[in-house]
Homo-oligomer: A and B are copies of this chain.
Amino acid sequence: MKLADFGFIEGINEIIAVTRNEDGSLNTAPIGIIVEDCNSTLARARLFRSHTRENVKRDKVMYANVIWDAEIFALASFQDLEQDYFESLEPPVLKNALSWCKFRAMLRGAYADLELVDGKVLRKDVRAVNRGFNAVIEALVHATRYVILKDENKKRELKERILYYYEIAKKCGRDKEKKAFEIILEKIH
């Protein structure tokens, strides 16, 4: 078993992390899993102050879902996804996820050291590159900073970038990407 089996490559893999909150409910958040050798079981992730980080600290477990759904990325950036979005709760698997992985997770400074301990490929697919989808991912990087920043100048700059990507999504994306931007734009009003 190695990271590559489940769709991870060298570099930063943007996935939906699923952890369990103290009350047993599921926490979902997009995070980047940093992989140096995809033929190994070892990775790490930068975890900022968040529920994900608290849950990892307590449980020492993190699940990852490899998925290509712009709306899911947008929703998970700002809230926990309800059970309706999952096709399985144990292990936690979002509908249409291509694969899931379970990582043993240990906080170390700003990072969590991750070790792949279980996983499954649920479906493989063939999809063409879509700049609209990519635009959602980039916009979310900026939008999640936007909502925590105070500096009005920086906020304005981020908003401009987000609106730039919105244009790409309108031109190149499909409904999913447009729905994702509805969620994003609501956050930057």
Contacts and interface: CB of A to CB of B under 8 A. Distances in A.
Interface of A: 6-15, 32-33, 66, 68, 73, 98-99, 121, 123-132, 134, 137-138, 141, 171-175, 177
A128 B7 contact: yes
A73 B131 CA distance: 13
Contact of A126 (B99, B128, B138, B172): B99
A68 B129 CA distance: 7
The number of times this chain is found in the oligomer is: 2
24 contacts: A6-B126, A7-B126, A7-B127, A7-B128, A9-B130, A9-B174, A10-B174, A11-B130, A11-B172, A11-B173, A11-B174, A11-B177, A12-B130, A12-B132, A13-B129, A13-B130, A14-B129, A15-B129, A66-B126, A98-B126, A124-B126, A125-B126, A131-B134, A134-B138
A172 B12 CA distance: 5
Contacts of A125: 7, 124-126
A134 B134 contact: yes
Contacts of A172: 11-12, 32
Given A6-B126, A98-B126, 20 more contacts: A7-B125, A7-B127, A8-B128, A9-B128, A9-B174, A10-B174, A11-B177, A13-B129, A13-B130, A14-B131, A15-B128, A32-B131, A32-B172, A68-B129, A121-B126, A123-B126, A124-B125, A131-B134, A131-B137, A134-B134
